[in-house]
């Protein structure tokens, strides 16, 4: 059963070795030369599997990998039976929003401290199970210790929150920033504000 169709991959509910599983398969891009397309899909599949595994090793709750099939550009994951963070925010009161946001900030701080830049930190790429946050979909992730890359990761998150959770964006951001700053390298939140300010200044100049 199809669960999600994105620009780079399709996600399906399947069985693997007799167990329920989630299959993520990178799809062919017809505009690319076949050899290059296959090389890129294989590399990105391998990188995603490596980073997902590393995230788990540093204490991030995420989907466990059953099997990586580089030849078919696929990863089989153990399903996580939680609610999307996106839906949890919509259906929660102010206190729970603050608590979930704090946990989200703590999780992203752990990622960044391990040198992992997620690349797509939206509330659709995180799950809530009980009181815990699971971070999913490392398809755009990469390794970096650069503060600027961490800052941009956070700015992408903030823009996504403002776009999807307009009414609760201030509360979500406040909880996230608190959880992040208490568990990460100091200065990244300030760097994110600086990077965002540079972007706004550039846009004003172009106008």
Residues tagged active-site? 120
CA distance 90 to 82: 15
Question: Number of helices and strands (H, E) in the chain?
Answer: 6, 10
Picking from 138, 124, 118, 24, the residue whose alpha carbon sits closest to that of residue 79 is: 24
Residues 6+ apart with CB under 8 A from 66: 16, 17, 19, 21, 76, 77, 78
Contact indicator for 140, 160 with CB cutoff of 8 Å: no
CA distance 20 to 29: 28
Q: CB atoms < 10 A from the CB of 169, how many?
A: 17
Contact indicator for 29, 37 with CB cutoff of 8 Å: yes
């Amino acid at each position: 059963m199809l669960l999600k169709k994105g620009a780079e991959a399709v996600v399906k509910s399947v069985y693997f070795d007799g167990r329920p599983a989630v299959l993520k398969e990178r799809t062919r891009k017809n505009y690319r030369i076949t050899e290059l397309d296959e090389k890129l899909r294989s590399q990105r599949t391998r990188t995603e599997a490596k980073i997902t595994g590393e995230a788990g090793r540093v204490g991030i709750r995420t989907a466990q990998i059953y099997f990586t099939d580089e030849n078919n550009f696929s990863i089989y994951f153990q399903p996580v039976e939680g609610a999307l963070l996106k839906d949890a925010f919509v259906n929660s009161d102010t206190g729970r929003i603050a608590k979930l946001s704090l946990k989200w900030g703590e999780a992203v701080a752990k990622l960044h401290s391990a040198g992992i830049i997620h690349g797509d930190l939206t509330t659709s790429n995180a799950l809530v199970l009980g009181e815990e946050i699971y971070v999913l979909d490392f398809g755009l992730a990469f390794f970096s210790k650069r503060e600027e890359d961490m800052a941009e990761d956070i700015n992408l998150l903030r823009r996504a929150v403002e776009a999807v959770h307009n009414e609760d964006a201030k509360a979500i951001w406040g909880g996230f920033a608190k959880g992040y700053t208490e568990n990460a390298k100091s200065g990244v939140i300030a760097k994110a504000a600086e990077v965002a300010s540079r972007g706004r200044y550039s846009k004003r100049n172009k106008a």
